[in-house]
Structure 1
Amino acid sequence: MLDAGGTAPEAIIAAGAVLSVVAPHFCGLGGDAVWLVADRMGDRRCFLAIGQGIDRPLPTAPIPTRGAGAVLTTAAVVDGWAHALDYSARVLGGTGKWQDLIAPAATIARQGHPVSTSQAFWTEFRLPEIADWPGFEGLFVADGQPLRAGTHLRQPALAETLDTLAERGARDFYEGTLARRILRGLHDNGIPIAATDLAQTRTRETLPLSAPYRNRLLLAPPPPTQGITLLQIMGILGRLELAGLTAGSAAHLHLCIEAVKHAFKDRPSIADPKFAAIDVERMLCDATLDAKAAKIFPNRALPWPEPWQHGDTAFLGAIDSAGNAASVLQSTYFDWGAGVVAGDTGIVWQNRGAAFNSAPAHVNAFAPGKLPFYTLTPGIALNGAGRPEFVFGTQGADGQPQTLSVLLTHLIDYQAGPAEALGAPRFLLGRTFSDQRDSLKIEGHAGPEVMGRLARLGHEVAAIPAYSPLAGQAGLVLRTAEGADGHHDPRG
């Protein structure tokens, strides 16, 4: 799409549609997306393509993570694509046509594609649960067995859905013949989404949050996302002296870890600003960040744990030939979302409702029309002239700002190249599916000396494999004199 002269948002729509086919375990039409865009002069927008709470009472029991009870929201990724295409035409002068952007994904779904190693892993890992997930047998599993990596997977139902979208437009997903098919499929699974719920789904356009870091301005999405947490982490690190430390050393990682801890203390207050008062200005002001930075000691770790959230997603980034940038994360929340296929549409629906709380007084209590707390944290860095320099993002739920703290400090503080920054050892503070302790996971290629030093500082260190997918799967697109360069994570 870029080679054909398309804009960055047009390229992301096309790539995002294809990812909904070839990465059905991490993202899809039944999920959401968070967009950051900045034009060639640095004018910036955020598109929150997030499905709202459906019109139903507050759950009286804890919200499950799978099944019909976890489906408490609509899905907005398709509306987000349409919103981004409109922005591309109005603001960037884009000429891309909706049908041309969606059609390649429909073709791939119809003709088939090889199952990825990631999809094969997550299918096998969830196999005991998948037996109870309607619509998965015969699609993502065969005779009770997971599809192996490289298996040719065709998704004719999803191809038909994408054909309908290409022909009838995005709103058919919410108000047309496709909407009726979706509703029928969800109702058959006992999910009480109403036609009015789908029809009311709209992308919110707002301004991104921004904060300086060294000689750049970092952009991140506002609440209900944890973008403000990333900016707090970087704001804290901006008040600490990293230049004299060795990149990837225990001293460097310790400061990143401690900045994460202090920023995460404010994270429980993040919620939909239409339903909760969130003092963004206070959270990012100099006094707050100064105070947090002053509580960090170079020779002592702050006790942990804090609550941990699971989640998976997919990052897309693009910079076009004119210098316009887009940074996007698409997600169905957990791998395989709610474990529900919407009837004959081929759409796996998200379980983002599990991010709500069933306690009425909780800041993230479920409510109709409310957006849940979101871990998606795409970013854009503007240069000293206020123009897009690079876009960045990663998979990894709570780990997203943690991974990005390492990535950004390597890029900015240590002037590392993209490959070096993406390959540098990372940490993950919290639990994983293989280790339920709230320990500090460190990638093996950090080395025993770094791990030993972190342990002596008071961290409960646990090693994970070198280049572990648990440490996030990030991407970078950098503006260059010749155009733009894209770089993917070796962990992906």
Structure 2
Amino acid sequence: MQPLAISPHPLATEAGTRILRQGGTAAEAAVAIGAVLAVVMPHFCGLGGDAVWLLADRDGRSAALMGIGQAPQVLPDLPDALPMRGPGAMLTTACAVDAWDRALQLDRAEGQGGIAVPDLLAPALALARDGFAVGASQRFWLDFRRDDWPGWPGFAALFGQGGAGPLRQLQLAEMLALLARDGLRSFYDGAAARRVAQGLAQAGSPLRPADLAATRSRVAAPLSQTYRGLKLLAPPPPTQGLTTLAIMGILDRWPLPGDPAARTHLLVEAVKQAFLDRDRIADPDHVPVDPAALLAPARLDAKAAAIRADRALPWPHVTRHGDTVFFAATDAQGRCASVLQSTFFDWGSGVVVGDTGILWHNRGAGFATAPGHPNRIAPGKRPFYTLNPGIALKDGRPHLLYGTQGADGQPQTLAVLLSALIDRGLSPAEALAEPRFLLGRTFSDSRDSLKLEGSLGARAIAALQALGHDIAELPALSPIFGCAGAIRIASGGTEGAHDPRG
């Protein structure tokens, strides 16, 4: 099988490709990619964030790797509304580095791999130490938050250059060097952990050394749903992988229209029907969640039947937004890794942790505080999680690897991407260039409208308005619509692409 790696940054893709050429596994390539992305795309991911992985091989084995940090064992006094930025939003540990370690352990347990951790981290360490040219994506989000970041602790000194000259992150390079020397778990219980814990305490986060030491990725069985004869895999709760599968299960009960307006209407209405169940998703260690009931054929039948082809369902529901990176790799032996890595919002909490050069995530801001809410914060609990990378199996073997950034927009973008890849037979590059939609509020538009890329066309947009959709038109290829990627594995070869919005 032809090995292939994709990511939203050429330097990260290069690092993963180099590992594959050395005979490394998909997981090893993904670790190298994830480490580089933690350096070159700090606005979307980093050592201070989380990661969710899907793994599969051509023998039909699959696993979800849930690299999701947990709330502290001792909660502080919390306000009724959790802050979105700052130390008050630093309410969960960061599990991305442990996910790297666990993915490599799974390889070793199968007698696979063998590239040493220092070699996997070497490209990231060199880029942090020597610097790199800041890309358009980072400049966009730095400018987008220009009124906010001057007040974020430690941020301006590290990232406030605005892209003038190479961005060097010497403190981050020191942290990567510690991980290369002492092992990835040292982020949680070694010399690296001591620096992280000291920085968290200085920042005012309630996270303590014991919380870092207790941070562990979980290996779980993926959820699955049939779509047009393929088996779609998604990570289980507390992620919204369940939502993506419900959307596709609803769509599987409808023929996909050829008309762009009718097709977009159907996709949007399927999203609405699936989103009505999302409040049921929470950490299954704390709240009973029954994915089988939510994906039951009778339930999906009823949701599909509730869609009206001639009228949009009114949509007043509040949505959440955040950012992340998707990357994927498949190796010569047919092993596959589909990965999302995130600090939640762009620039996470906005807080640089002490002298580590690490931006901590604000995923804890995704908790609820209302009594009785399934996602209410509790000691050691994981929040509702937007990350949901996917793998589609054909005849029991990996056929499609896919994922996207965009928080609540992730299932919406995946509906567009999968219907284009599967129903319409588009190539990954063609599918990624298709016009997208985003239902609900965004950073720049607080209305609960249906955002559409103008490339959908004036006629289609007018037709959707006539169906009752409240339309807000945005420029084609706007970064607001997320940055997705896809790999297709077929008998004729392997092809992949990443988003033109990246």
Match of 1:184? 198
Kept after mapping to 1: 8 A contact 2:44/2:324: yes
**How far off its partner does 1:213 sit?**
0.3
Q: Of residues 209, 227, 231 in structure 2, which corresponds to 1:213? A: 227
**SS of the residue aligned with 1:452?**
helix
**How far off its partner does 1:97 sit?**
1.5
**SS of the residue aligned with 2:231?**
strand
Match of 2:141? 122
Kept after mapping to 2: 8 A contact 1:422/1:474: yes
Superposed CA offset, 1:45-97 (max 9, x none):
00100110112236243110011100111000000000000112223622222
Residues 29 and 302 from structure 1, CA distance in 2 versus in 1: closer, same or farther, beyond 3 angstroms? same
**How far off its partner does 1:138 sit?**
2.1
**SS of the residue aligned with 1:95?**
coil
What CA distance in whole angstroms lies between the structure 2 residues aligned with 1:27 and 1:179? Answer: 19
**How far off its partner does 1:192 sit?**
2.3
Matched, 1:5 2:23: yes
Match of 1:228? 242
What CA distance in whole angstroms lies between the structure 1 residues aligned with 2:203 and 2:130? Answer: 28
**How far off its partner does 1:329 sit?**
0.2
**How far off its partner does 1:478 sit?**
1.7
Q: Of residues 367, 371, 374 in structure 1, which corresponds to 2:382? A: 371
Root-mean-square deviation over aligned CA pairs: 1.2
Matched, 1:24 2:36: no
Kept after mapping to 1: 8 A contact 2:404/2:482: yes
Kept after mapping to 2: 8 A contact 1:158/1:347: yes
Superposed CA offset, 1:456-487 (max 9, x none):
11111111111122122110112144653220
Kept after mapping to 2: 8 A contact 1:2/1:320: yes
Q: How many residues align?
A: 483
What CA distance in whole angstroms lies between the structure 2 residues aligned with 1:169 and 1:388? Answer: 31
What CA distance in whole angstroms lies between the structure 2 residues aligned with 1:189 and 1:93? Answer: 41
Matched, 1:102 2:146: no
Matched, 1:241 2:255: yes
Question: What residue identity is the alignment partner of 2:40?
Answer: V
Question: What residue identity is the alignment partner of 2:70?
Answer: Q
**SS of the residue aligned with 2:210?**
helix
Superposed CA offset, 1:402-441 (max 9, x none):
0110111111111112222111111110111221111111
**SS of the residue aligned with 2:151?**
coil
Match of 1:402? 412
Kept after mapping to 2: 8 A contact 1:319/1:478: no
- Give TM-score, length-normalised by structure 1: 0.96
Match of 2:331? 320
Which range moved further: 261-270 or 296-305?
Answer: 296-305
**How far off its partner does 1:40 sit?**
1.8
What CA distance in whole angstroms lies between the structure 1 residues aligned with 2:492 and 2:184? Answer: 35
Match of 1:79? 98
Kept after mapping to 2: 8 A contact 1:320/1:483: no
Superposed CA offset, 1:262-319 (max 9, x none):
0000001100001111121110010100000000111111111212101000001111
**How far off its partner does 1:127 sit?**
2.2
What CA distance in whole angstroms lies between the structure 2 residues aligned with 1:214 and 1:484? Answer: 21
Match of 1:147? 163
- For residues 158-197 of structure 1, what are the structure 2 equivalents within 5 Å? 158-197=172-211
What CA distance in whole angstroms lies between the structure 1 residues aligned with 2:214 and 2:444? Answer: 39
Q: Of residues 415, 432, 436 in structure 2, which corresponds to 1:426? A: 436
Q: Of residues 46, 52, 55 in structure 2, which corresponds to 1:34? A: 52
Kept after mapping to 1: 8 A contact 2:477/2:501: yes
What CA distance in whole angstroms lies between the structure 2 residues aligned with 1:251 and 1:125? Answer: 34
Identity fraction in percent: 55
- Give TM-score, length-normalised by structure 2: 0.94
What CA distance in whole angstroms lies between the structure 2 residues aligned with 1:17 and 1:363? Answer: 33
**How far off its partner does 1:337 sit?**
0.6
4+ aligned runs moved over 6 Å, structure 1: none
Question: What residue identity is the alignment partner of 1:361?
Answer: G
Question: What residue identity is the alignment partner of 2:448?
Answer: D
Question: What residue identity is the alignment partner of 2:481?
Answer: A
